[in-house]
Amino acid sequence: MKKITGFILAGLIILLTGSSWYWSTHKKKIIHNQLEKAIAKKSQGLYRVRYDSLDLDEVRGQLILSSFTLTYDSAKLKQLEQEKTPYLLFNVSIPEIRITGIETPRALIEKEISGRRLVLTSPIIEIMYTNAGKDSARSIPDEEIYRQILGDLHLIRFDTVIISNADIVTKNIKTGKISVHFAGTSISLFNMVIDSTANADTSRLLFAKEISVACDRFTWQSRNGLYNYQVNSFKLQSSSSAMTMGSFFVRPTFSEDVFVKKFPVQKDRFDFALHNIEFRNTTFSRLLEESIIAETLLVGSASFDIYRDRNRPEDKSSKLGNYPHQEIQKIPIPFEIKTVVIRNADIEYKEKSAITHQPGRVKLINASARITNITNRKASIARNNLMKVDMQGNLLGKISMSAKWTFYLGNTNGRFSVSGRAGSGKATDLNVLVVPMGPVEFKSGEINSLSFDLSGSDDMMKGKVDLLYKDFHVALLKKDADSVHFKRKKVTSLFANMKIKNNNPEDDRKPARTASIYIQRDVTRSMFNLVWKGMFAGIKEITGAP
């Protein structure tokens, strides 16, 4: 018996010694083969993996891969049938992958990968849309994603996963055109566990208890090529439920003159910039479900510039269903933001007149706005369908203005209401606006106040307009044929001033005149045109302007 036991022990020692020697001399090849085998199996032979060197230190539990690349095989791709072509393809290049605190033999034998730290340094990731096959990423049920990642493994666990200074590009594989470019991107995942238990943990995001993302800049272009979008200094921190952006730009690709020639009809040209943007109390788990839920959105400062050339033919297509609250319902991503606060915004609408061929500008300086209940989620709208906008600013930097909008979300007739007030100012301050557009000029006048209370729908607007003023006198103008300057039409101006009621009220003994308006909407024009048209009808009635 002792002899048999001795033989067994000797055999075990020889086996262990041989296994240890074989592992020590062949471990790099074993790891390489296992890695290639796993990737080939998952991709059905579509991807190839290469690296320059592998440094394995089992005492320290450290594995370093240098110059790692994962590329798709173009020849294999051509062999795939159309329905089997993946929706996305990847090319990945990583100068260094460093894993610490890992037990390599355990990973191979027990099918568990557990380590302290995984660091991917300066990866370059190219994501290509094939526009073919099936979008498998969308077809996998949520509860099955972790199984797709694990494959034959039972567990993947890391205390920390860091992707440092990544450059990520998405593009169309056929045209090579870049869709989105993420530059200087870093991602940190803490306490990351991938298994069935972690998958059921709703407190985890991307299988991690905590995640942080930072991106120096990401850019993309509109499908029609007319606008470039850019976000700077993007940060996401799950521990504080916060997401911030240093700035967000919407920049037109072409100058004003070139832009208007891109269309056969009139179109607005936008140029926006928003700074110091912060989402608070964001539900990050909903982001993975392609929805945005946040308590508050703050914008520290902003500028909104809009340009239209009235010399172009009018767009006669119907604008029914294009009110702001109706457009919100068309956004494909479900979202809900309870409060949006915009501070220190400058808004300019510039319009080139078809009469004078000169641009007139309406400017709202140092404006602020508070928007509540902005959402397209049906359940939220059923609870509260009122989206309210409260805004203030200074018209041309000289006349204070405020307005309150109420939009009825989900209303089939586009219902909304708006009320507002403008403070006192000199009528001559408005000449920078009315001279290029009129052409008319205020010679004198004091505006004491303007107030309005209007309600509208898809097809009409009604309400009340009040304007208190004194000593209104105007001059009608004409432009010299060979000049950009205007001359007064003396006789016509005389008759115009005879029709205009110079004061409201006429005197202290008479009540002020008010205007009740009801107008039909021109469905080829916007909601803002309807509001302006309603206010202008009231002002015209009060002043008696021809």
Q: Residues 208-244: pLDDT tens digits?
A: 889 999 999 999 999 899 999 999 999 999 888 899 9
More confident residue, 481 or 255: 255
| pLDDT mean over 2-18 | 38
Give the best-scoring range by mean pLDDT among 143-157, 178-192, 275-289, 350-364: 178-192
Across 380-394, average pLDDT: 97
Q: Is there a domain that residue 426 lies in? A: no
**What is the rounded average pLDDT for all residues in the chain?**
82
Q: What is the largest CA-CA distance in the chain?
A: 133
Indicate whether 421 belongs to any domain: no
- pLDDT at residue 54 is higher than 60: yes
> Which pLDDT does position 17 carry in this prediction?
40
Residue 381 pLDDT: 96
CA dihedral 365, 324, 332, 188 (to 10 degrees): 20
pLDDT at 90: 83
Q: Which residue has the tokens 């989105």?
A: 180
Any idea which of 110-114, 190-194, 377-381 has the lowest mean pLDDT?
110-114
pLDDT at 50 (0 to 100): 83
Task: Please write the tens of the pLDDT for every residue from 307-345.
Answer: 999 899 999 999 999 999 999 999 888 999 999 999 999
> CA-to-CA distance for 232 and 11, rounded, in angstroms?
65
pLDDT value, residue 499: 77
Mean pLDDT of 346-366: 85
Least confident span in 79-83, 93-97, 450-454, 528-532: 79-83
In this prediction, residues 479-501 reach a mean pLDDT of: 67
Residue 337 lies in a domain: no
Highest mean pLDDT among 73-87, 198-212, 246-260: 246-260
Whether residue 103 is contained in a domain is answered as yes
**First and final C-alpha spacing in the chain:** 123
What pLDDT is stored for residue 505 in this prediction? 92
Q: Which of 206-220, 349-363, 477-491 has the highest mean pLDDT?
A: 206-220
Distance between CA atoms of 43 and 92, rounded to whole angstroms? 14
Least confident range from 171-180, 215-224, 448-457, 484-493: namely 484-493
Is residue 518's pLDDT more than 80? yes
Tokens encoding 333: 């991503």
Instruction: Give me the sign of the Cα torsion angle 262, 266, 267, 269.
Output: positive
More confident residue, 370 or 57: 370
Closest CA to 301 of 252, 240, 365: 365
**pLDDT tens digits, 132-169:** 655 544 444 444 555 656 666 667 788 998 999 999 99
Q: How many domains, in total, are found in the chain?
A: 1
Residue of higher predicted confidence among 145 and 393: 393
| Domain assignment present for 427 | no
- Average confidence (pLDDT) over 354-377: 89
Indicate left, alpha or beta for 536 from its phi (over 0: left) and psi (-120 to 50: alpha).
alpha
Task: Name the most confidently modeled range: 35-39, 77-81, 158-162.
Answer: 158-162
Q: Which of 262-276, 325-339, 472-486, 500-514 has the lowest mean pLDDT?
A: 472-486
Query: Tens of pLDDT along 495-508?
Result: 666 778 889 898 87
pLDDT attached to residue 113:
77
Give the per-residue pLDDT at 244: 95
Domain-located, residue 148: yes
Domain, as residue range, for 68: 41-195
Could you give the CA distance from residue 76 to residue 255 in angstroms, rounded to a whole number? Answer: 46
pLDDT of amino acid 262: 95
- Within a domain: 52: yes
Average pLDDT, integer, range 30-44:
58
What is residue 43's predicted lDDT score, i.e. its pLDDT?
57
Residue 40: pLDDT band (50, 70, 90) is low
- Does residue 155 form part of some domain? yes
From residue 451, give the alpha-carbon distance in Å to each of 398, 400, 508, 529.
Answer: 17, 12, 20, 18
Burial class of residue 527 (count of CB atoms within 10 Å of its CB; 0-12, 13-18, 19+): buried
Share of the chain above pLDDT 70, in %: 80
Query: What mean pLDDT is predicted for residues 425-453?
Result: 82
Higher pLDDT, 200 or 98: 98
SS3 151: coil
Choice among 40-44, 302-306, 326-330, 527-531 with the minimum mean pLDDT: 40-44
